[in-house]
Chains A and B, each alone.
Chain A
Amino acid sequence: MSNKCDQPNMDRRKMIGGAIAATGAMTIAPGVILHAASVSDEASSGADAKHRWGMLIDSNKCADGCSACVDACNTEHGLKGHGRPATDAVWIRPVKLKDKQTGRENRLVMMCQHCEHPPCVDVCPTNASFKRVDGIVLVDRHRCIGCRYCMMACPYKARSFIHEALTEQSVNAPRGKGCVESCTLCVHRVDDGVMQTACQEACAEEGHAAILFGDLNDPNSEISKTLKSTNSVQIRADLELNTGVRYLNL
């Protein structure tokens, strides 16, 4: 099983990081470092560390040709295409797969996996990418400088860079040209106490119910119970990012 070379080599990261840190620290007064004290705390206000929000996607139920979740996400967050698919923002995308060995086909949706150890947050130079205490990974669009390093680092291609000026934005999602964005797990709903994401709602209305949102920390939530009794997987589990989004029947 061990897929050795694809493992994140933490030792190496630490070593190189340490060497650079040591060199840098020679000239930077320790006081400066204090200044970087966790921004995610303030941005997380309203979030509760008791929860960890996540999703479970049943790939057997994700119906061929359906785009209900994608459409709902676009409407909810005011995402509009400009007829240029390579540069348009995509927060959620359907993917159809075929097992090379068995020929079995499945369909699933991919979005930001809300990693517990998000590489996008690690690499973001300005702390614009951050993880809330309840596990939701977001981008602070006042702080994002548009360097796109997070897009290079995200193993799931979950992020979009905004390539043009935006009009008619949705109040649910402030967005901006030159910044990076991705699925927010409908954080505006969560903060309002609505425990259902737009994609989940649309999928259920369509009669598929392939998406389940909920609190991974609450043993009584439906998502926790399903996860406990079934055999779910994380995509690229070998990277050990402990994603908040899990998949069934993949």
Chain B
Amino acid sequence: MSKMYYRELYCGTPARYWSGLALLGVIIAIGLGAAYYMEHNGHWVTGMSNQIVWGLPHVFAIFLIVAASGALNVASIGSVFGGPLYKPLGRYSGLLAIGLLAGGLMVLVLDLGRPDRLIVAMTEYNFKSIFAWNVILYTGFFAIVGIYLWTMIDRSVNKYNRTVGFAAFFWRIALTTGTGSIFGFLVAREAYDAAIMAPMFVIMSFSYGLAFFIITLIAAYIWGDRELGDFRLTKLKNLLGVFVGAVFYFTLAYNLTNLYITQHHGIERFILLDGGVYTQMFWIGQIFIGSIIPLFLIYSPAFEKSRWAIAAASVAVLIGGFFQIYVIVIGGQAYPMNLFPGKEVVESGFYDGQVMSYVPTLPEAALGVAGIAVALTMVAVGARVFKVFPETLED
């Protein structure tokens, strides 16, 4: 095999690079402004309430954090499982993972009621809390993936690459397990109390992370006028197909278990049949856009070599994934908690027994989108400063 040369990414002309970066900067600035507005006025200016306490920013944050772990897949396959085709892409995989996690965490932190107390969150730990564990898992992820990147880029420490690669692999599995367990531990709510949540989040991360990876890889090679071979892309595409199928399988298993358990029929009915917008998001967003369309684009012989189809499939996976998390996070809260089994709530001073509505507001969306912009900015700057992308990836 010929030797790989890595080079900093110059996106055609400097103007092209800097204007791209400026655009991202504007998006981030708008997001920060939105966060300030929400913080300054208090959360009543958002769509969140005392019934729906986690809103659109959480959907973005969880989506990005889950994707971050998955983005590291390619590096893991390359150095842990020894896939030579994936190895040259390992550096970019690490960079993207760090970027996505940073974006997700920014959104999460800026949506806290007291973001100014971040230092409390970093110094006071309740070790029974999955959230506290996640703080450690997230910060650890930055450190481990940072070192991992170092072992990939610096030849003098390259001998540690495999060991660090293993550590990073286990760490990220723990990270997504932790993220899924945020929900899996909530016994009070019918939608969440399920052990399957953790593995489901792990597999979701594989799928979303790879989709992000493929899209941004194609974009970077177009921008940088570099060669990206079909063979490698087809491999990635096939892998994505497997992950999308696996997410579909877990969705099926999750819903079937709930259907088996009589007490959970209420929430199932709500999501699958009469939950209004959540039902639509489930069928149209999660199932049709997120599973069926990408599987068709990936496996249909008509699109065998089509780069367009690969990109479209990845975008569909991301859109579907976003809806999936929306349905889990918001749909799960909108469905009323069953406090009084066997009784019907005739009157309540606090919306007992009622499906709650949640309408996200513009500032929440702006903050969420800024999280994606943070991820892309880190990638753009990282790829420009470090030797991340191979000169060419022709077959």
Contact A160 B50 (CB under 8 A): yes
A78-103 residues at the B interface, CB under 8 angstroms: 82, 84, 86-90, 93-101
Given contacts A23-B174, A236-B339, contact A87 B50 (CB under 8 A): yes
Q: Please report the number of residue pairs spanning A and B whose Cβ atoms sit closer than 8 angstroms.
A: 228
Interface string of A138-151 (1 = CB under 8 A from B): 00000111111101
Residue contact B187 to A179, C-beta cutoff 8 Å: no
Neighbouring B residues of A153 by C-beta, 8 Å:
185-186, 188
Output the least CB separation between A108 and chain B (Å): 9
Cβ distance A50 to chain B, nearest Cβ, rounded Å: 25
Contact of A126 among B120, B186, B352 (CB under 8 A): B120
> Which listed residue (B193, B198, B342) contacts A99, Cβ 8 A?
B342
A9 in contact with B195 (CB, 8 Å): yes
Within 8 A of A (CB), among B103-154: 112-115, 117-118, 120-121, 124-133, 135-137, 140
**Residue B53 contacts which of A84, A88, A94, A148 (CB distance < 8 angstroms)?**
A148
Inter-subunit contact A125/B125 (CB<8 Å)? yes
Cβ 8 A contact of B170, one of A23, A154, A157: A23
Q: Are B53 and A151 in contact (CB under 8 A)?
A: yes
A203 at the interface (CB under 8 A from B): no
Q: Answer whether residue A168 sits at the interface, using C-beta atoms and an 8 A cutoff.
A: no
Question: Are B112 and A70 within 8 A (Cβ)?
Answer: no
User: Interface residues of B, CB < 8 Å — how many?
Assistant: 69
A235–B345 Cα distance when bound, in Å, is 14
Question: B303 CB to closest chain A CB, in angstroms?
Answer: 40
Q: Is B264 an interface residue (CB 8 A)?
A: yes
Residue A194, interface by CB 8 Å: no
A5-B261, A239-B188 are known contacts. Are A156 and B339 too (CB-CB below 8 A)? yes
Pick the contact of A19 from B44, B118, B128, B177 — CB < 8 Å? B177
Contact of A122 among B48, B128, B347, B352 (CB under 8 A): B128
* 1/0 contact string of B186-200 vs chain A (CB within 8 Å): 111100010100100
Q: Is the CB of A162 within 8 A of B181?
A: no
Within the complex, what minimum Cβ distance (angstroms) separates A52 from chain B? 21
Closest residue of A by beta carbon distance from B137: A24
A204-239: CB near B (< 8 Å → 1, else 0) gives 000000000000000000000000000000011001
Bound CA span A154–B174, Å: 25
Residue in A21, A163, A164, A179 whose Cβ sees the most chain B Cβ within 10 Å = A163
Contacts of B339 in A (CB 8 A): 110, 155-157, 235-236
**A90 with B350, Cβ < 8 A, contacts A97-B343, A126-B124 known:** yes
B53 touches A97 (CB 8 A): no
**Is B392 interfacial (CB-CB < 8 Å)?**
no
User: How far, in whole Å, are A150 and B344 apart by their CA atoms in the complex?
Assistant: 26
Closest Cβ of chain B to A3, distance in Å, is: 7
User: CB-CB < 8 A to A161: which residues of B?
Assistant: 43, 50, 53, 113
Cα-based distance from A39 to B132 in the complex (angstroms): 15
B171 CB-CB contact with A under 8 Å: yes
Given A36-B127, A90-B349, A145-B120, check contact A152 B189 (CB 8 Å).
yes
Q: Chain A residues with Cβ under 8 A from B51's Cβ?
A: 86, 157
A177 near B42 with CB under 8 A, answer: yes
Q: Residues 160-195 of chain A: 1 if any B CB is under 8 Å from the residue's CB, otherwise 0? A: 111111000000000001111000000000000000
Q: How many interface residues does chain A have, given as a range? A: 35 or more
**Residue contact A164 to B41, C-beta cutoff 8 Å:** yes
Contact of A86 among B129, B264, B351 (CB under 8 A): B351
The reply to whether the CB of B156 lies closer than 8 angstroms to some CB of chain A is no
Q: Determine whether A45 belongs to the interface, using a CB cutoff of 8 Å to chain B.
A: no
How many angstroms from the CA of A35 to the CA of B130 in the assembled complex? 18
Once the chains are docked, how many angstroms separate the CA of A19 from the CA of B177? Answer: 9
Nearest A residue to B188 via CB reads A155
Q: Which residues of A contact B333 (CB under 8 A)?
A: 152
In the bound complex, do residue A23 and residue B186 qualify as a contact, i.e. CB atoms below 8 Å apart? no
Q: Are A20 and B348 in contact (CB under 8 A)?
A: no
Q: Which residue, of A90, A125, A235, has the highest number of chain B Cβ atoms within 10 A?
A: A125
B263 within 8 A of A: yes
| Interface hub of A4, A17, A33 (most chain B Cβ within 10 A) | A17
Further 19 A-B residue pairs, CB within 8 A, beyond A23-B170, A86-B49, A95-B345 = A16-B177, A16-B198, A20-B137, A20-B174, A20-B181, A36-B124, A39-B124, A86-B50, A94-B348, A126-B126, A143-B124, A144-B117, A146-B117, A157-B352, A159-B50, A163-B49, A178-B42, A178-B43, A235-B339
- B residues in contact (CB < 8 Å) with A: 39, 41-44, 48-51, 53-54, 112-115, 117-118, 120-121, 124-133, 135-137, 140, 170-171, 174, 177-178, 181-182, 184-189, 193, 195, 198, 261, 263-264, 333, 337, 339-352, 356
Across the A-B interface, the 6 shortest Cβ-Cβ residue pairs: A146-B113, A178-B113, A155-B188, A93-B349, A164-B42, A86-B49
A to B CB contacts below 8 Å, 27 in the list: A5-B193, A5-B261, A5-B264, A9-B195, A12-B195, A13-B185, A16-B184, A20-B174, A86-B49, A86-B351, A87-B49, A93-B352, A94-B348, A122-B126, A122-B129, A124-B129, A125-B131, A126-B121, A145-B117, A146-B114, A149-B182, A152-B53, A152-B54, A152-B186, A164-B41, A178-B114, A236-B188
